[in-house]
């Protein structure tokens, strides 16, 4: 934009300078031509004067009067613009020249041209034009050119005054022929700044504005405005005189051309501005819009959403960039998944180790019970217990499988309860309410045992307790319930247990929390443990295990070995 502006400005200034210098040089040239015309005119007058002087230098005005008189007359006749030539002595008496005209020359010594020539002897003196009745008949405007000269009278050199009268019309003809445009004109100023001549002016016309300009400036060329027209003024001196020649040149047309140029340039500038603005808008849309989209996607990712992809269309570069960005996202996602999986696997391995651990106290207590039964010769009970223990361990091991059918899990609990019932000497009763439809579901092994263990420890008191274990499908879940009658627990305690499960509490209940973690880890977020209690009535622990309809018969979720 700036470049465009600068280009226009430079172009205009160059053009404008060209026009200005053209205007200047043209009017200067005109002025020069006019001055040269006048100079050559004046020079021819001076030549005439010099010729007369040189010719008469060695002639005596008395002895060679006739010869000298011939020279004077001949020269005034041969030159068209010379009206007459005279020689006067210092008192103003005529010595040589045209036929005597006493009326005209009655007071020569008082004339300005005469006095000037006497005073300043080294130069010619040009008078302002004045009306002169020549030979008493015709009136003509003439200029008096005078100069002090020496003449020879009876062998004595004397000072005299030479007068050459010029027809002013010839001077004005020179000026009137020059074309200076409408309103253009020429002024000639005398040394006292009085007007000698104004071209193209008829009698009675007002004095033009240009006079002030001409009077107040002594030399040189400059532009100005006269009558709201652009004019170029040139002031020059005229050799051999103290006159100034002022030419006033109409340069309006050229100035108009320059102004037109300015308008055209302005229009071009505006148009280019508009085009550039439009183009840059389009370009910026093509480049910056996709970048903006990209930025928004990045912000989203910064906010934690790694599942967005960036779909950007437009510039090839930006598309490439967004593709690279997407690839990076995928990479990050894969990495994150891998990290999560690795962590999960690690946990699973840990928890598996836990699940595989057999509470040594349980074994010790059970063996203790068996010893006690044997001592009391309760052979049947010993057999029952030992069988139950054997089965309990077989299922616990399950050849290393993680998932076992629900019926195995239930049978595992049965064995467990059989052992515990003998140990706790029938201090509790138990019953199973299992929906037969769930027997074939596969479930993570040893998930119920810690719950039942809890129910026995916390529930068994003075009264005979009743433990009920249920299993049934509900919507997309396989539900296990372990209910025990007893004091029940308070709401506060339940809230505390939930916190313990989630790992948000300082206390820990290893058994329940293990179950909870394993559920979450192997079955995902949908799996859960719910606790319900009625004081002095019962406490119910409910396990919710999600089942995939399609694979429900094979496994709870996916088989991980």
Partner 1 sequence: MKKYLKIFVTACISVFMLAGCSIREKTAGLFLYNMDDPYVDVFAGHILDFSRGRFSVESMDCNNSQIIQNEYIEKQIKKRNDIMIINPVDRLGAYSVIRKLKSVDIPVIFFNREPLSEDLELWEKAYYVGAKAEQSGRLQAEMIMELFGGDPDRLNSYDRNGNSKIEAVILKGEQGHQDAEIRTAEVVKTFRENRFKLDILITEVANWKREEAYEKMKHIIEVFGNRIELVISNNDAMALGAISIMRQSGMFRDTNSNGIIDKDDDSWIPVVGIDGLDEAVEMIERGYLYGSVLNDSLSQAMAITELAEAVLGNKSFDRMSYPLTDKKYIWIDYKPLK
Nearer to partner 1, 75 or 252 (CB): 75
> Is 122 a residue that touches partner 1 (CB under 8 A)?
yes
Q: What are 431's strand-pairing partners? A: 468
Please report, for residues 67, 89, 418, the alpha-carbon distance to residue 157 in angstroms, rounded to integers and kept in the order given.
Answer: 18, 12, 176
Residue closer to partner 1 (CB basis): 193 or 337? 193
Say how far apart CA 428 and CA 432 lie, in whole Å.
Answer: 14
Q: Which of 19, 46, 265, 479 binds partner 1 (CB under 8 A)?
A: 46
Name which of 43 and 288 has its Cβ closer to partner 1.
Answer: 43
Alpha-carbon distances, residue 428 vs 241, 367, 414, 484 (angstroms): 151, 20, 13, 9
Nearer to partner 1, 36 or 275 (CB): 36
Q: Binding residue for partner 1 (CB under 8 A) from 18, 62, 63, 150?
A: 150
> What is the residue-wise DSSP string for 217-285?
--SEEEEEEETTEEEEEEEEE-TTSS-EEEEEEE-HHHHHHHHHHHHHHHHHHHHHHHHHHHHHHHHHH
By C-beta, is 112 or 150 nearer to partner 1?
150
Q: Which of 519, 395, 494, 509 is nearest to 453 (CA)?
A: 509
529: three-class secondary structure by DSSP: strand
Q: HSE of 217 in the Cβ direction (CA atoms, 13 Å)?
A: 20
Q: Does 116 bind partner 1 (CB under 8 A)?
A: no
Interface with partner 1 (CB under 8 A), residue from 7, 26, 37, 53: 53
Q: Which stretch binds partner 1 (CB under 8 A): 216-224, 279-287, 429-437, 457-465?
A: 216-224
Q: Residue 146 to residues 73, 86, 92, 120, 237: CA-CA distances in angstroms?
A: 17, 9, 12, 11, 19
For the chain, the residue count is: 561
Parallel, antiparallel, or unpaired for β 465-474 and 428-434? Answer: parallel
The span of 134-142, 218-226, 281-289, 442-450 binding partner 1 (CB under 8 A) equals 218-226
- Report if residue 49 touches partner 1, rule: CB under 8 A: yes
If binding means CB under 8 A, how many residues of this protein chain bind partner 1? 35
Distance from C-alpha of 104 to C-alpha of 86, rounded to nearest angstrom: 12
CB of 3 to partner 1, least distance (A): 24
Q: Which of 86, 124, 477, 522 binds partner 1 (CB under 8 A)?
A: 124
Q: Please, what is the minimum distance in Å from the beta carbon of residue 33 to partner 1?
A: 10
Say how far apart CA 559 and CA 561 lie, in whole Å. Answer: 6
Residue 235 binds partner 1 (CB under 8 A): yes
By CB under 8 A, residue 58 contacts partner 1: yes
d(CA 273, CA 527): 68
Among 123, 170, 326, 365, binds partner 1 (CB under 8 A): 123
Please say which residue, 113 or 403, places its beta carbon nearer to partner 1: 113
Q: Which of 147, 391, 442, 518 binds partner 1 (CB under 8 A)?
A: 147
Structural tokens at position 185: 């004109």
Least Å distance, CB 60 to partner 1, is 12
Cα-trace Rg, the chain: 67
Closest separation in Å from C-beta 217 to partner 1: 8
CB of 242 to partner 1, least distance (A): 4
DSSP 89-114: ETTS-EEEESS--TTTTTTGGGSHHH
Which of these, 186, 191, 257, 256, lies nearest to 31 by C-alpha position? Answer: 186
Residue whose tokens read 């005034």? 76
| 79 contacts partner 1 (rule: CB under 8 A) | no
SS3 label, residue 297: helix
Distances (CA, A) of 343 to 56, 349, 350, 535: 136, 10, 11, 40
In the complex, the smallest distance separating the C-beta of residue 345 from partner 1, rounded to whole angstroms, is: 55
Closest CB to partner 1 among residues 90, 120: 120
The closest alpha carbon to 87, from 67, 106, 102, 72, belongs to 72
194 binds partner 1 (CB under 8 A): no
* Residue list 6-35, contact with partner 1 (CB under 8 A): 28, 32, 35
Q: How far is the CB of 119 from partner 1 (least distance, A)?
A: 10
Is residue 190 involved in binding partner 1 (CB under 8 A)? no
User: Binding to partner 1 by residue 154, rule CB under 8 A?
Assistant: no
| Under rule CB under 8 A, residue 236 binds partner 1 | yes
Measured between alpha carbons, how far is residue 159 from residues 89, 91, 117, 173 in Å? 7, 10, 11, 35
User: Could you say whether residue 54 binds partner 1 (CB under 8 A)?
Assistant: yes
Q: How far is the CB of 274 from partner 1 (least distance, A)?
A: 36
Is residue 186 within 8 Å of residue 198, measured between CB atoms? yes
Using the rule CB under 8 A, is 157 a contact of partner 1? Answer: yes
Smallest separation (angstroms) from partner 1 to the CB of 147: 7
Is the Cβ of residue 239 or residue 552 nearer to partner 1 in the bound state? 239
Please report whether residue 36 would count as binding partner 1 according to CB under 8 A.
yes
Q: What's the N-to-C CA distance of the chain in angstroms?
A: 71
* Interacting residues toward partner 1 by CB under 8 A: 28, 32, 35-36, 39, 46, 49-51, 53-54, 57-58, 120-124, 147, 150, 157, 191, 217-221, 235-237, 239-242, 244
């Amino acid at each position: 934009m700036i470049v465009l502006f600068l280009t226009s400005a430079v172009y205009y200034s160059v053009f404008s300078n060209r026009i200005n210098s053209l205007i200047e040089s043209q009017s200067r040239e005109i002025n020069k031509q006019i001055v040269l015309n006048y100079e050559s005119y004046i020079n021819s007058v001076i030549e005439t004067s010099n010729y007369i002087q040189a010719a008469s230098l060695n002639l005596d005005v008395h002895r060679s009067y006739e010869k000298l008189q011939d020279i004077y007359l001949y020269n005034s006749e041969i030159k068209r613009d010379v009206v007459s030539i005279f020689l006067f002595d210092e008192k103003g008496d005529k010595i040589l020249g045209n036929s005597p005209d006493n009326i005209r020359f009655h007071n020569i010594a008082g004339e300005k041209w005469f006095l000037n020539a006497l005073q300043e002897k080294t130069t010619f003196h040009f008078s302002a034009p004045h009306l002169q009745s020549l030979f008493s008949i015709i009136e003509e405007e003439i200029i008096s050119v005078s100069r002090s000269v020496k003449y020879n009278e009876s062998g004595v050199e004397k000072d005299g005054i030479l007068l050459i009268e010029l027809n002013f019309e010839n001077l004005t003809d020179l000026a009137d022929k020059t074309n200076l445009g409408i309103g253009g004109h020429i002024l000639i100023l005398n040394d006292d700044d009085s007007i000698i001549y104004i071209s193209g002016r008829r009698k009675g016309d007002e004095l033009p504005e240009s006079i002030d300009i001409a009077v107040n400036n002594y030399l040189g060329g400059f532009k100005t405005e006269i009558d709201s027209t652009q004019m170029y003024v040139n002031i020059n001196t005229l050799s051999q005189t103290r006159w100034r020649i002022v030419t006033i040149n109409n340069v309006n047309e050229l100035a108009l051309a320059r102004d037109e140029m300015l308008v055209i340039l302005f229009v071009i500038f505006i148009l280019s501005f508009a085009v550039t603005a439009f183009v840059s808008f389009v370009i910026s849309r093509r480049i910056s819009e996709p970048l903006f989209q990209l930025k928004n996607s990045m912000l989203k990712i910064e906010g934690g959403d790694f599942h967005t992809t960036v779909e950007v269309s437009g510039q090839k570069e930006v598309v490439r960039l967004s593709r690279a960005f997407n690839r990076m996202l995928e990479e990050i996602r894969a990495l994150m998944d891998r990290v999560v999986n690795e962590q999960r696997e690690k946990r699973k391995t840990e928890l598996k180790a836990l699940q595989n651990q057999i509470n040594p106290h349980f074994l010790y207590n059970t063996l203790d019970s068996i010893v006690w039964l044997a001592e009391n010769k309760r052979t049947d009970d010993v057999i029952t217990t030992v069988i139950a223990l054997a089965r309990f361990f077989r299922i616990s091991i399950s050849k290393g499988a993680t998932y076992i059918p629900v019926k195995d899990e239930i049978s595992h609990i049965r064995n467990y309860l059989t052992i515990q019932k003998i140990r706790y000497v029938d201090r509790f009763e138990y019953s199973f309410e299992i929906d037969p439809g769930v027997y074939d579901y596969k479930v993570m092994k040893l998930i119920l045992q810690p719950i039942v263990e809890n129910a026995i420890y916390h529930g068994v008191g003075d009264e005979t307790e009743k433990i009920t274990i249920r299993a049934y499908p509900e919507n997309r879940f396989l539900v296990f319930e372990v209910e025990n009658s007893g004091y029940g627990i308070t709401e506060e305690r339940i809230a505390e247990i939930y916190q313990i499960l989630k790992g948000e509490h300082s206390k820990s209940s290893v058994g329940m929390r293990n179950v909870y973690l394993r559920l979450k880890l192997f079955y995902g977020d949908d799996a859960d443990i719910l606790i319900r209690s009625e004081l002095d009535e019962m406490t119910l622990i409910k396990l919710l295990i999600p089942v995939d309809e399609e694979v429900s018969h094979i496994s709870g979720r996916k088989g991980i070995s």
